[in-house]
Amino acid sequence: MSCRQYAVQVFNGPTARLLISAPDRPGLVAAVAGFLAEHGASIVEADQHTDHEEAVFFQRIEFLLDGCDLSRDALPGALRQVTDPLGMHVVMRYSDEIRRIGILASRQTHCLYDLLSRSAEGELPADIAFVASNHPDCAEAAERFSIPFHHLPVTPQTKDAQEAAVTALAEDAGVELLVLARYMQILSTDFVEHFASQVINIHHSFLPAFVGARPYHQAYERGVKVIGVTAHYATADLDQGPIIEQAVAPVTHRDGPDDLIRMGRDLETVVLARAVRLHLTDRVLVHGRKTVVFT
């Protein structure tokens, strides 16, 4: 498995990725760029953003490890010599790390099949460690792709225990991201805080329109001319998490609730996959209720 080529490794050799946030001040760019130049690191991609209202600086830098005169072991410590004095918070990841994710689903399988197919094709920059569900319906899909399936039913009385089981599953498998592929259970505050910015949900409406249940029916009742879906990090406030990606499609008076559900299906699969990919290629920074997404 370790020799698998993910579609995202497009550069000549492995890269390191820095995700930086810091109180804004002059010299931040120069400090990191100077450090990398000094150590012979070639930047292959860089992007930055300043939130001028809150005076916060964000940056993503990806550079080739080949040519850099620091080892993977030495790199973090050396970098901190530069970034700590400037109050910079830095996350460093390597493009050749094997990432592992877990998928939670309920009865519907379209997002699940999409993720399984992408994984089978090497399109998903991660291994799927397991599929878990509160219903047995998704077992067949997981089996078709030889991914372990766990049936973890839930009732109001067993919610705590079920979430504990999911947590154990995720931690045993060493996953760094849980993907809610139309998982129709409300997660407890404890759970989402335990996995802060590590749970991506697909909500089947263009948030903040139509929060809550049956959003396609709500959209039909309101007579909107555009429907949408939203991928976001799960937070304690339902449907309020930082939005990673949204997409929309035009609809007309001809489209009944079933049509909206069917059309939404294609939006959901694409938007969820896109959000998962953005997360796994280290392109998303959470900033309060919002995200900075370096595409």
How near is the Cβ of 202 to a second copy at its closest, in Å? 14
Nearer Cβ to a second copy (99/265): 265
Catalytic residue among 239, 258, 259, 282: 239
Of 228, 235, 282, 283, the one binding a second copy (CB under 8 A) is 228
Q: Is 238 in the site for a second copy (CB under 8 A)?
A: no
Q: Is 127 in the site for a second copy (CB under 8 A)?
A: no
In the region spanning residues 41 to 70, those forming contacts with a second copy, defined by CB under 8 A, are 41-50, 52-53, 67
Does 266 qualify as catalytic in the annotation?
Answer: no
Site string for a second copy, 7-36 (x = CB under 8 A): x--xx--------------xx-xxx-xx-x
Name the region of 85 (left: φ>0; alpha: ψ -120 to 50; beta: rest): alpha
CA dist 181 and 268 (Å) reads: 9
Site string for a second copy, 183-222 (x = CB under 8 A): -----------------------xxxxx----------xx
**Radius of gyration for the chain, computed over Cα atoms and rounded to the nearest angstrom:** 21
Site string for a second copy, 253-292 (x = CB under 8 A): xx-x-x---x--xx---x--xx------------x-xxxx
User: What is the token pair recorded at 43?
Assistant: 């930047």
Are 239 and 211 spatial neighbours (Cβ–Cβ below 8 Å)? yes
> Hunting for tokens 């000549």 — which residue is that?
12
User: What is the token pair recorded at 57?
Assistant: 């600086």
CA dist 150 and 130 (Å) reads: 7
How near is the Cβ of 3 to a second copy at its closest, in Å? 18
CA dist 14 and 283 (Å) reads: 16
Name the region of 118 (left: φ>0; alpha: ψ -120 to 50; beta: rest): alpha
Nearer Cβ to a second copy (1/30): 30
State residue 138 phi and psi, 5-degree precision.
-85, 0
> Looking at the annotation, which residues are catalytic?
239
